[in-house]
Chain A
């Protein structure tokens, strides 16, 4: 079935450093979303990308959707301890509102002060 692959699974980052997590689909996505789950919490929506080549920024977070709409990335600059958590991408292959959302395995981020 359709699924999204996310790498890396774990990311240890020194505070102040940058890092990127990647998400890939073997087939063209309708849209892709990113969620953050703090330890012990539930996933919370961050952003949605719909257009080919789209780039969106939220403060230190930069989200990108590939030209072919098969991959996406999340880049965090100047990592802070508040960035700790697991970041998930979630893909949808249909524009219909009933479309399923398939989550990647997530990137668990640990920040070292």
Chain B
């Protein structure tokens, strides 16, 4: 069966530090992968999506970047975190238009 893994679950990072969040999918090939961010009490903001290795589309200009080094791996990064980067980051895999979400990473930038 297909599963999606996301880690870490929680993260506290100082302002200016780098960030790397990883998402991997098992049980499928060539998945469409997405990164969403959810600010506290807010909706889901689409950050990046990828339809294949090395193919990244950015939805909003920001302090973050994404990479897809392998078919089933999607990484969200930042060189220098800002306070405004705090939020709940969710990786999602789209199968037949239905989204399956990872458990999420709750990032607090201090």
Contact = CB atoms under 8 A, between A and B. Distances in A.
A31 B96 CA distance: 11
A98 B43 contact: no
A30 B51 CA distance: 19
Given A42-B90, A42-B102, A42-B103, A100 B46 contact: yes
B15 interface: no
A100 B49 contact: yes
Interface stretch (A13-21, A56-64, A73-81, A102-110): A102-110
Given A103-B43, A105-B43, A97 B94 contact: yes
Interface in A26-51: 30-31, 33, 35, 42-45, 48
Given A42-B90, A42-B103, A42-B104, A105 B97 contact: no
A48 B46 CA distance: 19
Most buried by B among A35, A98, A104: A98
Tier of interface size on chain B: 20 to 34
A90 to B, nearest CB: 7
Contact of A44 (B36, B94, B101): B101
Given A42-B90, A42-B102, A97 B97 contact: yes
A45 B99 contact: yes
Contact of B100 (A45, A102, A104, A108): A45
A44 to B, nearest CB: 7
Given A33-B97, A44-B101, A103-B46, 14 more contacts: A33-B99, A42-B90, A43-B90, A45-B98, A88-B43, A90-B99, A97-B94, A98-B32, A98-B94, A100-B34, A101-B94, A101-B99, A104-B43, A106-B42
11 contacts: A33-B97, A43-B99, A45-B99, A90-B99, A97-B94, A101-B46, A101-B92, A101-B94, A101-B99, A104-B43, A108-B41
